[in-house]
Homo-oligomer: A and B are copies of this chain.
Amino acid sequence: MMMQNKYIQIYKQIAEEISEGHYKPKEKLASEHELMNAYKTSRETIRKALNLLAQNGYIQKIQGKGSIVLDRQKFDFPVSGLVSFKELAGSLGDKHQTHVEELAVIDADDYLMYQLQTPPETKIWKALRVREIDGERIILDKDYFLQSNVPELTKEICEVSIYDYLENDLGLTISFAKKEITVEEPSSEDRRLLHLEGFSNIVVVKNYVYLEDATLLQYTESRHRPDKFKFVDFARRSHK
């Protein structure tokens, strides 16, 4: 009967209202007691929703006073967290395009065995994609999946969104990810596939994506031209 969890519904609803500007920044949200009546639920359920809002930078809770709405405009989160290129490109300018340069099942070499924590000769999907924005080839994405997790993969899927395919079609649920950002010298592959004239550095984002059972699903290297790279992170201090 329940379409979805109550506290997530409430979270999404309030988050949308904030995003659409129904509340102004620095404005106070209704109190937990009022929200409790408004949504006909218990206080703990309201509090779970409000904690999600706080965690994701929508509001700030202040004991004794209430919840105030933060200014997410001045706070824009383009590449924070686990977003995929499609979400990113959609939120930024349009005129983006994805070129699938390579798509094949390969045997894991030493580097991949280390990154994916697999035994030798494991079959691995390799997808090599170039992201083009406004006519410039900006990003090189190198994706690796265990074939045991992802049996089939096509050029068409790679051109749209691999994440959509994994989550909606294969029913895999992504739980958490670790990102590592460094700056390196461009490889010859980078120079061949991207427009790097005059740039002597490249930003490398290594992304380890895990499923709900804590097994590694995917290793991705996302190689960005430095002038077009921007990473935004919002973090709360967890405890005192």
Q: A residues touching B (Cβ–Cβ < 8 Å)?
A: 4, 8, 11-12, 52, 55-57, 60, 62, 68, 70, 74-75, 80-82, 117, 173-183, 200-201, 203, 210, 212-214, 226-227, 229-240
Which B residue sits closest to A209, measured CB to CB?
A: B237
User: Which residue from B68, B180, B240 sits with its C-beta under 8 Å from A8?
Assistant: B240
CB neighbours (8 Å) of A227 from chain B are 183
CB neighbours (8 Å) of A80 from chain B are 235
CB neighbours (8 Å) of A75 from chain B are 178
Report how far A232 CA is from B213 CA in the complex, Å.
22
Report how far A177 CA is from B12 CA in the complex, Å.
23
**Helix, strand, loop or mixed for chain A's interface?**
mixed
A214–B178 touching, CB < 8 Å: no
Contact status of A201 and B179, CB under 8 A, knowing A8-B239, A52-B238, A70-B214? no
B68–A180 touching, CB < 8 Å: no
Report how far A21 CA is from B125 CA in the complex, Å.
34
CB neighbours (8 Å) of A201 from chain B are 183, 200-201, 226
User: Which residue from B173, B226, B233 sits with its C-beta under 8 Å from A179?
Assistant: B233
Report how far A195 CA is from B57 CA in the complex, Å.
37
CB neighbours (8 Å) of A55 from chain B are 238
Contact status of A236 and B176, CB under 8 A, knowing A181-B231, A183-B226, A214-B70? yes
User: Which residue from B8, B68, B175 sits with its C-beta under 8 Å from A60?
Assistant: B175
